[in-house]
């Protein structure tokens, strides 16, 4: 998609109106690797607050083209979480603690958007005494387990697979870090509501953009991400849940490696479905604004570090040629000048051999032998952690700016 292509505005997926106050625009994208010379396909995601109900979401339509670029490009998915420090509970353990009281004998537990099946596999390990039936629902079967049944389905069209649960209604539906990716969250939850038993539960977890959630170091999180269509707060979710004919029975806010998390347990509501939407006072806009400010401040300090390093040494290396690198070159064109004049060498494992502004990208395994200092560029916490570990193993001269 070209940068200046007119993108069609979408309606608010909570109240249905189409009038937006744009908070910020996220520049996401992917590398076009079809040629040796790398080109960036940029996708603009304006994030807006609905002028009517104050829900915060991306205000353009997610076309088939966008979905394909975001989900089916050959990028390797980064780890979702950092390693759990010793003596602390892992995110999966915390999820399990949250849902365990509602797991009964012979439960049918279904994970909508199961991905690699980490949550289901955790339940499988720790719930054997309940003899649960476990099912994963997702585009592709990445779970590959003998004890977990897989149903292929599009999470944006759950009505197509609804009948598959007629014989075996669901006692516990799980959907973690999925609701922010679906186009119509109310419809998504309504469809799941039709598949659960009358006494069944739905467990959802989303990144927490409530004004009282953790707002420290948001630049190291994936809170704002091209794949995230919706930005939720406790108050916006409370409305969405009601619109879907559900009620909240339990709620918890947690922070893992800077990532604010919101966990909800839902049940069918006995009262009439609410159709009107009350303006969401405590919406996600504060948190979204904070993340963009944090990101911009970090970019500035990162650029200064590069500048200082070049004053000290004739040449330096930059490691990790992804979205953060690209955005840095857009904000500070001087960086491109240093790359073309060979003052800055680029290192990346996946992109080795490609060329960016006349500079051939070197495989990151060469960092071991590098004579110059190398600065690590990606900002996402779990990615930084993995790269840092590698560089320690190599005994290499790598700076991890913080
Ligand atoms: Zn709205």
| Whether residue 6 has pLDDT greater than 80 | no
Q: What pLDDT shows up at residue 391?
A: 93
Å from CA of 60 to ligand 1 middle: 14
Q: What pLDDT shows up at residue 5?
A: 47
Q: What pLDDT shows up at residue 401?
A: 84
| Whether residue 156 has pLDDT greater than 80 | yes
Å from CA of 15 to ligand 1 middle: 4
Å from CA of 33 to ligand 1 middle: 39
The three-point CA angle 150-151-157 to 5° equals 150
Å from CA of 53 to ligand 1 middle: 4
Å from CA of 20 to ligand 1 middle: 9
Q: Which tokens go with 1? A: 């998609």
Å from CA of 209 to ligand 1 middle: 17
Question: For 30-77, how does the pLDDT look when each residue is reduced to its tens digit (9 = 90+)?
Answer: 999 999 999 999 999 999 999 999 999 999 999 999 988 888 765 556
Query: What average pLDDT does the segment 256-276 reach?
Result: 90
Å from CA of 159 to ligand 1 middle: 24
Å from CA of 274 to ligand 1 middle: 15
| Whether residue 7 has pLDDT greater than 90 | no
| Whether residue 119 has pLDDT greater than 90 | yes
Question: For 225-235, how does the pLDDT look when each residue is reduced to its tens digit (9 = 90+)?
Answer: 999 999 999 99
SS3 for the chain is CCCCCCCCECCCCCCCCCCEEEEEEEEEEEEECCCCECEEEEEEEEEEEECCCCCEEECECCCHHHHHHHHCCCCCCCCCCCCCCCCCCCHHHHHHHHHHHHCCCCCEEEEECCCCCHHHHHHHHHCHHHCCEEEEEECCCCCCCCCEEEEECCHHHHHHCHHHHCCCCEEEEEEECCCCCCCCHHHHHHHHHHHEEEEEEEEEEEECCCCCCCCCCHHHCCCCCCCCCEECCHHHHHHHHHHCCEEEEEEEEEEECCEEEEEEEEEECCCCCCCCCCCCCCCCHHHHHHHHHHHHHHHHHHHHHHHHHHHHCCCEEEECCCHHHHHHHHHCCHHHHHHHCCCEEEECCCCCCCEECCEECECHHHHHHCCCCEEECCCCHHHHHHHHHHHHHHCCCEECCC
Å from CA of 230 to ligand 1 middle: 12
Domains annotated for the chain, with CATH where assigned, are 91-271+279-291 (3.40.50.150), 313-399 (3.40.50.20)
Å from CA of 19 to ligand 1 middle: 8
Å from CA of 127 to ligand 1 middle: 40
Q: What pLDDT shows up at residue 94?
A: 96
The neighbouring-strand residues paired with 319 are 347, 376
């Amino acid at each position: 998609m070209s940068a200046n292509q007119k993108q069609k505005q979408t309606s608010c997926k909570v109240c249905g109106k189409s009038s937006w106050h744009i908070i910020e625009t996220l520049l996401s994208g992917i590398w076009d690797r079809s040629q040796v010379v790398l080109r960036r396909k940029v996708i603009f995601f304006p994030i807006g607050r609905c002028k009517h109900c104050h829900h915060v979401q991306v205000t353009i339509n997610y076309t088939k083209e966008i979905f394909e670029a975001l989900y089916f490009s050959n990028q390797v998915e980064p780890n979702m979480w950092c390693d759990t420090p010793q003596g602390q509970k892992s995110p999966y353990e915390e999820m399990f603690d949250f849902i365990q009281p509602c797991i009964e004998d012979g439960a049918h537990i279904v994970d909508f958007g199961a991905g690699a099946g980490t949550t289901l596999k955790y339940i499988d390990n720790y719930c054997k005494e309940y003899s649960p039936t476990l099912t994963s629902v997702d585009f592709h079967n990445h779970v590959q387990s003998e004890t977990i049944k897989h149903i292929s389905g599009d999470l944006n069209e759950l009505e197509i697979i609804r009948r598959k649960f007629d014989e075996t209604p669901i006692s516990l539906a799980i959907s973690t870090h999925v609701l922010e990716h679906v186009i119509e969250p109310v419809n998504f939850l309504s469809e799941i509501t039709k598949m659960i038993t009358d006494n069944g539960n739905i467990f959802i977890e989303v990144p927490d953009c409530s004004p009282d959630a953790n707002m420290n170091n948001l630049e190291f999180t994936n809170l704002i991400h091209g794949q995230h269509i919706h930005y939720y707060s406790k108050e916006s979710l409370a409305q969405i849940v009601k619109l879907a004919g559900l009620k909240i029975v339990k709620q918890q806010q947690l922070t893992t490696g800077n990532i604010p998390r919101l966990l909800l347990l839902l049940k069918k509501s006995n009262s009439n479905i609410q159709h009107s939407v009350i303006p969401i006072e405590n919406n996600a806009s504060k948190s979204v604004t904070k993340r963009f400010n944090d990101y911009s401040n970090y970019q500035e300090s990162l650029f200064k570090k590069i500048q200082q390093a070049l004053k000290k040494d004739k040449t330096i290396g930059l490691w990790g040629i992804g979205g953060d690198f690209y955005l840095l070159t857009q904000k500070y064109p001087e960086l491109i000048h240093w790359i073309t004049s060979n003052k800055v060498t680029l290192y990346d494992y996946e992109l080795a051999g490609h060329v960016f502004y006349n500079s051939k990208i070197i495989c990151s395994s060469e960092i071991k032998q590098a004579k110059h200092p190398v600065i690590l560029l990606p900002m996402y916490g779990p990615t930084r952690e993995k790269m840092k570990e590698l560089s320690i193993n190599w005994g290499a001269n790598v700076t991890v700016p913080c």
